[in-house]
Amino acid sequence: MTQTWHVTYEIFRKKGDQPSHFDRFEMEVDPDEYVLDGIERIWAFHDRSLVFSHACHHSTCGACGMLVNGVEKLTCITSIRSVTKDGGVIRVQPMRNFPVISDLSVDMTDFYQRMESVGHQPVVTIGYEDSKGKFNTEDDLLRLSDCIECGLCISACPIAMTTPAYLGPAVLAGAQQSGDLNPCVLELVDSENGAWRCHSAYECTEVCPSNVDPAWRIMDLRKKLVSRRIKKFFGIK
Amino acid sequence: MAEHPQKPANLIKWFDPRNKSLGSWAFILNRITGLGLTLYLFLHLIMLGQLARGPEAYDGFIALVKHPIFLAGELLVVAAAFIHGLNGIRIGITSFGIAASKQKQIFIGLMTVATIAIIYFAIRMFTH
């Protein structure tokens, strides 16, 4: 049987140079609906000027990343039940560490450029390596990369908060996953604002909705960089 | 790519533990203890400067630091040293890809060791 909860959405609003504020919307919801469903309903029935990003509704496009009650969430797969209770509040804010375009929508252009510059592959072979080990296969099948480029890891990263020049977890994980540490990529990742800037808070892995485990990938990338340096020092190819 | 000005004003947000995971708590703890130990180093050097004022001044100072308030301060230094040192081992290991996926368990284990050590030193300091 369908339940009905009464919840209050507190939505971050910002237009242009105007100061930001929160708008409150009282809603009757099914607790098993997703946070994004409520935001869409606010846009459809309460305020058509609300700006937010979304597309696929099944955690593939990575467009609907937001801050829900202070935690980075992909709102299309975050149930209302998991973030509040009947009579509770759902405070929705745009992701941190990205420039806000309007309301809940952020500008991710620079992030996408960085992903491209480190050679992140959106499609990878089915044989892959993650924190649980290496999976080899002789099949030349392809699959979508785990990283959906949602940016939640960068939003959660304390270092990205103070140093926007830091490449960030997703970008470094992309470099690790591509495996192609050519001189251009090395210049980016083996640098002050690359893999060595991470301060091991592991928030990226905590909020990643797609099992990328960026923290592990950054540490693995460091291991590869150190190994390269040692080999270079001893003249080993 | 675009220019990225630093945002030092956001540094204070590093110390906000709300809605953060265990990794962030370890991150915050390491910074607080690191800053505390650095401050102590300066205080320690100032205290050692008392030696230059002669044995009487030094003995008077030593008598002062046996007060329980100073002992509590010293215990904080011991606690910071254990927490920072042991957490540093965790960061050192995991930072190069070793057991990175077990960082939470390592943190809990090492902080348990730190807690036992701090309790041991507290008993020793306040009962002798």
- Is residue A117 located within the same domain as residue A34? no
Work out how many domains chain A is built from and give that number.
2
Confirm if A69 and A91 have CB atoms less than 8 A apart. yes
pLDDT tens sequence across B19-59: 999 999 999 999 999 999 999 999 888 888 877 888 888 88
- Domain containing residue B62: CATH number: 1.20.1300.10
Q: In chain A, whose CA is at the least distance from the CA of B6? A: A163
Strands A5-13 and A21-29: antiparallel
Judge contact between A69 and A157, C-beta under 8 A. Answer: no
What is the spatial distance between Cα A68 and Cα A105, in angstroms, rounded to a whole number?
A: 14
Residues A84 and A191 in one domain: no
Of A131, A200, A206, the CB nearest to B95: A200
pLDDT in tens, A82-119: 999 999 999 999 999 999 999 999 999 999 999 999 99
Residues A29-84 have pLDDT tens digits of 999 999 999 999 999 999 999 999 999 999 999 999 999 999 999 999 999 999 99
Residue A213 near residue B97 (C-beta atoms within 8 A): no
**What does the CA dihedral A138, A211, A30, A25 come to, rounded to 10 degrees?**
-130
Residue A196 corresponds to which tokens in the numbers above?
């060595």
- The whole-angstrom distance between residue B77's C-alpha and the CA centroid of its chain comes to 6
Last residue within a domain, chosen from A72, A106, A140 = A106
> Using the beta-carbon criterion (under 8 Å), do B5 and A164 form an inter-chain contact?
yes
Instruction: Give the range of the structural domain holding residue B73, as residue numbers without chain letter.
Output: 23-127
Domain CATH for A48: 3.10.20.30
Q: pLDDT tens-digit profile of A135-182?
A: 666 667 888 889 999 999 999 999 999 999 999 999 999 999 888 888
Does residue B77 lie in a domain region?
Answer: yes
Kindly give the interhelix angle for A169-178 and A214-233, rounded to the nearest 10 degrees.
60
Same domain, A16 and A101: yes
Domain span at residue A48 reads 5-106
Q: Does residue A188 share a domain with residue A126?
A: yes
Residue B7 included in any domain: no
ipTM: 0.84
Instruction: For an interface test with A, give the residue of B3, B84, B87, B103 to mutate (most A CBs within 10 A).
Output: B103
Task: Give the residue ranges of DSSP H helices in chain A.
Answer: 35-45, 109-117, 152-156, 158-162, 169-178, 183-189, 203-207, 214-233
Look at residue B3 and tell me if it is in a domain.
Answer: no
**Amino acid identity, position B114:** A
Interchain pair B8, A202: CB under 8 A:
no
Q: Do both A24 and A101 map to the same domain?
A: yes
Based on the fold, state whether residues A118 and A27 are members of the same structural domain.
Answer: no
B100 at interface of A, judged by CB pairs closer than 8 A: yes
Determine the residue type at A94: P
Q: What is the pTM of this model?
A: 0.90
